[in-house]
């Protein structure tokens, strides 16, 4: 990443709310200026050929890679992401730690607003993690 500052997305943590930084997200994402929205469907940990590891960390890492691929196809990247929604099968604190570390590896200091939803199951057998994103980028026509 070349910078931790997006010209469109401003992230903050208002006074009076706990500090979510250790968990890899911010409470508020403000989007201003000319933009186009990218809504990225849930990305799981499967590879391009459909393989799915049984390892949670590998699935998170692959899902984030898949997210980066989807964003790049629209000339965007992690710094353009304003909001994430994450689904984790059988969520616990150890999985939160893995997710936070992997999110930091991809997003650095950019911590989008995020909602994590524990679920009993996802679409595919063995799927443990899914992440969707909303990103905003400058509209080149503006």
Residue 84 phi, psi dihedral angles, 5° rounding:
-120, 145
Q: How far apart are CA 138 and CA 142, in angstroms?
A: 8
Q: How far apart are CA 139 and CA 120, in angstroms?
A: 39
pLDDT for res 22 = 82
Distances (CA, A) of 115 to 2, 36, 56, 62, 89: 26, 22, 19, 19, 14
> What are the tokens at 19?
């500090």
Q: Is residue 87 part of a domain?
A: yes
Q: Is the pLDDT at 139 greater than 80, yes or no?
A: no
Q: Is the pLDDT at 6 greater than 70, yes or no?
A: no
pLDDT for res 7 = 66
Q: How far apart are CA 5 and CA 57, in angstroms?
A: 27
Between 99 and 25, name the one with better pLDDT.
99
Q: Is residue 9 part of a domain?
A: no
Q: Is residue 17 part of a domain?
A: no
pLDDT for res 21 = 84
pLDDT for res 5 = 53
pLDDT for res 142 = 61
pLDDT for res 2 = 33
Q: pLDDT over 70 for what percent of the chain?
A: 92
How many domains is the chain built from? 1
Q: Is residue 23 part of a domain?
A: no
Q: Is residue 26 part of a domain?
A: no
pTM of the predicted model, to two decimals?
A: 0.86
Q: How far apart are CA 105 and CA 103, in angstroms?
A: 5
Between 7 and 131, name the one with better pLDDT.
131
- What CATH code is carried by the domain that includes residue 44? 3.30.1330.40
Residue closest to 71 by CA, chosen among 102, 37, 47: 37
Q: How confident is the model at residue 3 (pLDDT cuts 50, 70, 90)?
A: very low
Q: Is the pLDDT at 88 greater than 80, yes or no?
A: yes
- Residue 60's domain comprises 36-137
Average pLDDT estimate for 38-55: 95
Q: Is residue 57 part of a domain?
A: yes
């Amino acid at each position: 990443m070349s910078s931790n500052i997006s010209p469109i997305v401003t992230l903050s943590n208002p006074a009076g709310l706990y500090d979510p930084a250790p968990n890899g997200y911010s409470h508020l994402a403000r989007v201003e200026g000319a933009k186009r929205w990218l809504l990225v469907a849930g990305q799981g940990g499967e590879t391009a050929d459909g393989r799915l590891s049984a390892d949670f960390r590998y699935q998170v890492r692959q899902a984030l890679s898949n997210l980066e691929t989807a964003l790049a196809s629209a000339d965007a990247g992690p710094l353009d992401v304003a909001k994430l929604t994450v689904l984790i099968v059988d969520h616990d604190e150890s999985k939160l730690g893995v997710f936070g570390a992997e999110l930091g590896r991809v997003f650095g200091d950019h911590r989008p607003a995020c909602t994590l939803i524990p679920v009993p199951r996802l679409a595919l057998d063995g799927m443990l993690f899914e992440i969707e994103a909303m990103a905003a980028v400058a509209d080149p026509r503006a």
